C-alpha cells in the first residue's frame, strides 16, 4: 500500500517504510509528524527529499479521498450539495449524474437532509461527515483520514467504518483511539518524526503495554 525511501521532510526522517493492508492505522503522540506525513502521501505537500508511493504509484497519480482533522479549513463551497459534489465538478462529471451520485452518497450515510444546508450552519461532526461524503463520492483509489473520528460520535464512526468496508476502498487512518487502531491490518507508530514501529497490531502494541498507546479493551481482557 505505502512505500517510502529516504524521506526527509521538515521533522520527518524515514529511511525506509513498506506497509500493506486494506486498513492501515497511524498512531503516535502530538508533534510526531503524523499529519505532515499524511499530507505528503495525499500529494498535498511536495516532498523535500526521498520518494513515496501509494498503491505502487506516485501520489500525484493516485485518486485520493482526503479528510483532515479540521474539515472546515478545507471546505470550498457555501452549500453542502456543492461541497459534496466538488470532486465531480472538477472532473467535469455531467451535472445530472453528479447530482445523482451526491444524493446516493448522502443517503448511504443517512443524512440526505444536509444537502439543503449551508456549510457555515453545520456542527463540527456534520462538517466531518460532509467532508467524508465529498471524499468518497468519486470512488477514490484510497482514503486518507486524519483523526476524523475525533469529531464524531461513536454511532457515526461505526457507520463510516461500515461504509468504508462495503466500498472496499483501501484506507490509511490516523487516530488517537487505540481500540480502533487495533482493528487495522497493520499499524504505524510514529514519534519525533520517525517510524518507531510498523506491523500487525499485536506486534506494534506489545512494547507499548505500560503506556497510553495501548488498546484499553486489550488491557481489560488481560
Where do the structural domains in the chain lie, given as residue ranges? Answer: 1-62+169-222, 65-140
Domain over 1-62+169-222 is classified CATH 3.40.50.300 = yes
* Average pLDDT score over the chain: 94
pTM higher than 0.85 for the full model? yes
What are the two backbone dihedrals, phi and then psi, of residue 150, each rounded to the nearest 5 degrees?
Answer: -70, -15
Selection from 148, 127, 2, 179 nearest residue 66 by Cα: 148
Report DSSP letters for the chain, one per residue: -EEEEEEEETTEEEEEEEE--SEEEEE--TTSSHHHHHHHHTTSS--SEEEEEETTB-GGGS-EEEE-SSGGGT---SBHHHHHTHHHHHTT--HHHHHHHHHHHHHHTT-GGGGGSBGGG--HHHHHHHHHHHHHTT--SEEEEESGGGGS-HHHHHHHHHHHHHHT--EEEE-S-HHHHTTSSEEEEEETTEEEEEESHHHHHGGGTTSSSS-HHHHHH-
Residue 153 has a pLDDT of: 86
Collect all residues with Cβ–Cβ distance below 8 Å to 95 and sequence separation of at least 6.
Answer: none
Residue 78 has a pLDDT of: 95
pLDDT by 10-residue block (mean), the chain, 222 residues: 96 97 97 96 92 93 93 90 93 92 95 96 92 95 94 87 91 96 97 97 94 89 73
Amino acid at each position: 500500500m505505502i512505500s517510502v525511501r529516504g524521506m526527509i521532510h521538515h521533522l520527518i526522517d524515514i529511511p525506509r517504510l513498506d506497509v500493506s493492508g486494506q486498513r492501515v492505522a497511524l498512531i503516535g503522540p502530538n508533534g510526531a509528524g503524523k499529519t505532515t506525513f499524511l499530507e505528503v502521501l495525499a500529494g498535498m505537500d511536495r516532498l523535500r527529499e526521498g520518494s513515496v508511493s501509494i498503491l505502487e504509484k506516485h501520489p500525484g497519480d493516485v485518486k485520493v479521498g482526503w479528510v483532515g482533522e479540521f474539515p472546515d479549513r478545507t471546505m470550498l463551497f457555501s452549500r453542502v450539495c456543492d461541497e459534496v459534489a466538488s470532486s465531480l465538478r472538477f472532473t467535469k462529471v455531467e451535472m445530472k449524474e453528479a447530482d445523482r451520485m451526491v444524493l446516493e452518497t448522502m443517503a448511504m450515510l443517512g443524512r440526505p437532509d444536509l444537502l439543503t444546508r449551508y456549510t457555515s450552519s453545520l456542527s463540527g461532526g456534520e462538517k466531518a461527515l460532509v467532508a467524508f461524503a465529498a471524499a468518497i463520492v468519486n470512488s477514490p483509489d484510497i482514503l486518507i483520514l486524519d483523526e476524523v473520528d475525533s469529531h464524531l460520535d461513536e454511532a457515526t464512526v461505526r457507520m463510516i467504518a461500515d461504509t468504508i468496508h462495503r466500498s472496499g476502498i483501501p484506507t490509511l487512518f490516523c487516530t488517537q483511539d487505540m481500540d480502533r487502531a487495533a482493528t487495522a491490518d497493520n499499524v504505524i507508530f510514529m514519534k519525533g518524526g520517525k517510524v518507531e514501529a510498523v506491523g500487525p497490531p499485536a506486534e506494534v502494541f506489545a512494547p507499548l503495554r505500560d503506556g497510553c498507546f495501548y488498546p484499553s479493551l486489550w488491557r481489560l481482557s488481560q
